[in-house]
């Protein structure tokens, strides 16, 4: 029997302005892939023509699995809520998304497909600092 599931935790927290990515996986028998997969934010259908804008949906069908990815650019507080993928003739899979504003005091658990922009920025700063120290060290050895 085909089954739809959203990858990662069922409760997600994401920083305002980030990119939200949700992946829906449908396992099915060969030649019985769902005809289509619809995405919803609450009761509202999400597609390329959505008034929100910044919507990307990619669906790939294979022999025993169909994968659909929803991406929303520059999330706002209005993007908070329940998201579901609804494959034709199957129960929808659901995830709750919480968009947060301001500085995060504690690390936020992030599921697969959620933006790690804050983590990337701090790692980039650390790598830049290490590179500058290494260059200074090389200069010391060259001119010594």
Domain ranges (residues) in the chain:
3-114
Give me 20's structure tokens. 């939200």
What tens digit of pLDDT does each residue of 45-98 get? Answer: 998 888 889 999 999 999 999 999 999 999 999 999 999 999 988 899 999 999
The third-level CATH classification (topology) of the domain covering 3-114 is: Immunoglobulin-like (2.60.40)
Residue 22 has pLDDT above 80, yes or no: yes
Q: What is the pLDDT of residue 119?
A: 40
CA-CA distances (angstroms) from residue 81 to 3, 23, 96, 128, 144?
A: 23, 16, 6, 37, 61
More confident residue, 60 or 107: 60
Q: What is the pTM of this model?
A: 0.68
Q: What is the pLDDT of residue 86?
A: 94
Q: What is the pLDDT of residue 61?
A: 92
């Amino acid at each position: 029997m085909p089954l739809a599931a959203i990858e990662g935790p069922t409760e997600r927290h994401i920083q305002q302005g980030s990119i939200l990515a949700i992946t829906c996986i449908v396992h099915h028998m060969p030649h019985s892939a769902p005809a289509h997969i619809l995405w919803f934010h609450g009761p509202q259908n999400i597609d390329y023509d959505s008034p929100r804008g910044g919507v990307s949906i990619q669906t790939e069908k294979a022999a025993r699995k169909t994968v659909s990815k929803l991406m929303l650019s520059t999330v706002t507080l209005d993007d908070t809520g329940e998201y579901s993928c609804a494959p034709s003739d199957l129960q929808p899979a659901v995830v709750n998304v919480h968009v947060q504003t301001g500085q995060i005091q504690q690390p936020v658990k992030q599921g697969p497909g959620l933006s790690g922009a804050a983590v990337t920025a701090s790692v980039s700063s650390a790598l830049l600092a290490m590179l500058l120290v290494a260059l200074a060290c090389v200069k010391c050895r060259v001119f010594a």
